[in-house]
Amino acid sequence: MPYQWILFDADETLFHFDALAGLKRMFAGHGVDFDDDHYRAYQALNLPLWQAYNAGEIDAATLQQSRFEGWAERLGTTGAQLNSDFLQAMAAICAPLPGVRELIDALHGKARLGIITNGFTELQQVRLERTGLAEAFELVVISEEVGSAKPHRDIFDHALTRMGRPDADSVLMVGDNLHTDILGGLNAGLDTCWYNPSGQPGEAAIRPHLEVQHHDQLRQRLG
């Protein structure tokens, strides 16, 4: 095993994140038939908020509440409550991506495993427990708790400190997002692996050390 530590992104790297299914489930509990038009309107608000959050322009609480403010007014509740309901719905439907369990099993005892995520605290531990993966990860670093989001170096420095400051070349960062996971890992001096299941074109300015389209490929590369 060439690495002492392997760090993973969570959403769409370890876990399928079907936001539409989660929103449908959450809004059904409020008596709303959430359709595709609703989803497009939600994403038109949600995606710029995520961009602002990743850039450090807003905090986690602002993102979580703002994306549901309009619905909160219509339903007579708060954005924070709807956000909590949404995260609970996502936890209920979450599932590991194909090949994840086999990869984690193969790495057990060969490398120490951690997660660095820009996702929110309320979802992370319950999702790990419900999928039976909680014990596999020694380290879970959540941007909401650290106060810094990928790709900023602060969140990686926080993780490396908690890891006991291993040599950077003994750490691999695995993620699906070039701009948060891969660029962030590179800026922290780590080796990186781009999980790119759909074969999206890369960018000349961001060069991962490895690229895989399936977790089985990563398992074979690390074997």
What value does the CA radius of gyration of the chain take, rounded to a whole number of Å? 18
Q: How far is CA 194 from CA 76, 77, 108, 151, in A?
A: 42, 40, 21, 14
Structure tokens at 103: 């990869």
Domain positions in the chain are 5-16+95-222, 19-93
Contact 173, 181 (CB under 8 A): yes
**Cα 100 from Cα 126, distance rounded (Å):** 17
Report, as ranges of residue numbers, the positions in the chain whose pLDDT lies below 70: none
Q: What is the pTM of this model?
A: 0.92
Q: In this predicted structure, what is the pLDDT of residue 1?
A: 77
Q: Quick count: other Cβ atoms within 10 Å of Cβ 29?
A: 10
Beta bridge partners of 116: 141
Catalytic amino acids? 9
Class for the domain spanning 19-93:
mainly alpha
Q: In this predicted structure, what is the pLDDT of residue 8?
A: 98
CATH node for 5-16+95-222: 3.40.50.1000
